[in-house]
Structure 1
Amino acid sequence: MRVFMFLPMCMFFFFCKAQDIQMSLNMFRSGDVLVKKQISCKNLVQKGDDVLWDISDADVINKSYKVKYTDVSGHKDRMACTERATMYYYDLHNDTLLIGGFENNSTKIDYDLKEISLRFPMKYGDFYSGLFHGTGTYCDKVSMRSFGKYTVEADACGTLVLPEGDTLRSVTRIHTERFVYGVSYPADSIVAISSRPLSTDSIIRFMEQKPFLLKTDIYRWYAAGYRYPVLEKHVTCLHGHEGKPYTETFYIPLSGQEKSDNNETRKNAVRSVTDGQTSGGIKENIEYYKVFLQEASSLSLRLEYRMAHPAEISYGVFTSDGKSVCQGGHTMMQSGTHSVDIDMSGCRNGVYVVYIDAGGHRYTEKITLKR
């Protein structure tokens, strides 16, 4: 069994304190209008603690995609979110935000067994699961039940690099996984099926015997100081086509959330690549780095770092008494995210010092390897 211990030696390693999702700061607000940008990007699958997500090179597919939040007349504690010509209903019950249904030009579903969207407060590591059930109509020609199971997990926290070059610290990602099942009936059956919801036992039994119709994975990235997610990813697949998912990713520019009332929190959440100054007024070359050990077929140490602007990089690993384990680099690296793996399989137990030198600025970490 190996135990890895990390002891920080300098102020430049940015440990991320996960952003808690709170009702006062992150609950929907009637009258808010957001403009999303649909983007094309990769490398958003990482989960865990102290993750680096980089969408600085994302391509914009759709520049104008509006989302509007409104109260629902006659329904206390219900709010509607309208996007893509569909109105989604959310109900706030005590500390829990529930999905109450949706409707558009073709389909209307009301949930009697509602799905958890968020539970306040929600922090990294929190996990919820359950069942949902609703009834409705399709094109006024078919009545149907829509039901299934879901999980909601705050599965990652870390740092998000934005297309404008800004870096958001204390970002928490919420992952929702849904499996949707359905049964259709004649159009005039809606009253009968609405008055007889399926029991939880019936839902579970159906799911054990029948394949799902639709599976969706929704990822939402929340940053300190911003009411709504700054990034969303939706992955949808049909039964039998799991290998060909349909993926959409949306970025909500920070300027579109400036009316949020979390101003003081926001001031401490965003760090631009242009404001990393030393006391001598020299820009830092590395705005983020991470050092960690990983095990595959052999033990290796990985350095991940993001360059604010081009600089020559060198790195090394030394024993505590100064003997060199590895030295490398001395290469001009461009701005962006980079990584390097260093073989540690032949190293003995003990303390090692890792350094990265970027254009004359040295960043140092100490690790302890125990087997």
Structure 2
Amino acid sequence: MDRHLVLTSNDITYYDLSGDTLFIVHVENPLSKITYDHPILSIKYPFAYGDSISVPFSGYGVYCGDHPFREQGMSMVMADAAGSIVLGEDTIQNVLRVYTRMSYSVCMDIDSAALDSARLKQIIEERYDWYARGYRYPLFTTVTSTSYDDAAPIGTTRSAWGMPPDSQRFQADSCNEDIRRKDSIAIAEKAKANDDIIHYTVSQNGNQITVNYSLDGSADVSALVSDVMGVVYRQCRQNNDKGDGYSLCIDCNGLRRGKYILYVNVNGKVYNEKITVL
């Protein structure tokens, strides 16, 4: 088991790498400290587009130095999008977006003598991390946390931060440097020309998007529509043998007008096209 800590804002987070899974075991900040007897799932290695995992967690802590509290709930992690990110003149290849949803209850002033009188609050926290091959830390992270009292929302906090690719390239990391060279645009374009097994066109009739394609071999083909921030609104999936005349249809009626991105995933290889919802 490998333990390390990460500092973000005013929080200090301690992690344990147990086998192929990374867990959060302790979090502290100026107001509170909590240790998890059943740690929070952070991510599992390897993690690919379409993978998901859920694990329950619980922990005991102290708030404002002398107020005990308990957290208990479920953490669900899903790799829900894959593609590229364009940053100015820089294009980052092989980007994976990981969505984490934590749903849990908080019991304040809870100890062995006060179980029945504890005040119970619910919290739903949604987090998106954009990971890229060759970069140790997420390029971007966004977190939205909403608190509920007796099922009624009482407050929402939002935060976002990032570690730009240029900053991460300064780190002495020979393994990631080698991966970034292999993921260069020139090499990626050459590989794309050599190993494409799909030949497709995209047509649009109103807000009906159709991907017509043929395959040089059997493949698991999926398509999804997201906005420029990576939020997925529509998706579909099917498995086909080698052949012609295949199609995937996505109904985008009901979406807000504007620019979106259509991602086509073929056996893990991702293509993207810009579309406009009318």
> Could you say what secondary structure the match of 2:153 adopts?
coil
TM-score, scaled relative to structure 1: 0.47
Task: Give me the whole-angstrom Cα distance separating, in 1, the residues matched to 2:163 and 2:31.
Answer: 28
CA contact (8 A) 1:96 1:120 kept: yes
Task: Tell me the distance in 2 between the aligned counterparts of 1:146 and 1:125.
Answer: 29
Amino acid at match of 2:75: Y
Flag structure 2 segments of 5+ consecutive residues without an equivalent.
190-199, 212-224, 226-257, 263-272, 274-278
Q: Could you tell me which residue of structure 2 aligns to residue 225 of structure 1?
A: 134
Query: In the alignment, which residue of structure 2 is the partner of 1:135?
Result: 60
Equivalent residues of 2:106, 2:123 under 8 A apart? no
* Cα distance change, pair 294–238 in 1 and its aligned pair in 2 (3 A): farther
Alignment partners' CA distance in 2, 1:119 and 1:340: 27
Which is higher, the Rg of structure 1 or of structure 2?
A: 1
Aligned to 1:113: 38
1:256 pairs with one of 155, 164, 167:
167
- Seen in structure 2, the aligned counterparts of structure 1 residues 138 and 124 have a Cα distance that, compared at 3 Å, is same
The equivalences for 1:145-224 within 5 A come to 145-162=70-87, 164-185=88-109, 189=111, 192=112, 213-224=122-133
Number of residue pairs matched by the alignment: 196
Aligned pairs for 1:305-324 within 5 A? none
Q: Which whole-Å CA distance do the structure 2 matches of 1:340 and 1:120 have between them?
A: 28
The 1-side partners of 2:40 and 2:68 are apart by 21
Q: For each residue in 1:67-97, what CA deviation from the matched residue of structure 2 results, as whole angstroms up to 9, or x when unmatched?
A: xxxxxxxxx6211111222211101111111
Tell me if 1:269 matches 2:180: no
Question: Any idea what the Cα deviations from partners look like across 1:244-286, whole Å, max 9, x if unmatched?
Answer: 74332323111211223311211243549xxx9xxxxxxxxxx
Which position in structure 2 is the counterpart of 1:100?
A: 25
Equivalent position of 1:241 in the other structure: 153
User: Does the residue aligned with 2:167 lie in a helix, a strand or coil?
Assistant: helix
C-alpha contact 1:159 1:168 (8 A) present in aligned 2: yes
Q: Normalised by the size of structure 2, how large is the TM-score?
A: 0.61
- The 1-side partners of 2:39 and 2:153 are apart by 27
Deviation at 1:160, TM superposition (A): 0.8
Using CA pairs under 8 Å that are at least 6 residues apart, name the structure with larger relative contact order, 1 or 2: 1
C-alpha separation in 1, matches of 2:140 and 2:39: 25
Q: CA 1:185 to 1:235, structure 2 compared with 1: closer, same or farther past 3 Å?
A: closer
Per the alignment, in what secondary structure is the counterpart of residue 105 of structure 1?
coil
The percentage of aligned residue pairs carrying the same residue is 29
User: Shift of the alpha carbon at 1:169?
Assistant: 1.6
Distance 2:89 2:156 in 1: 30
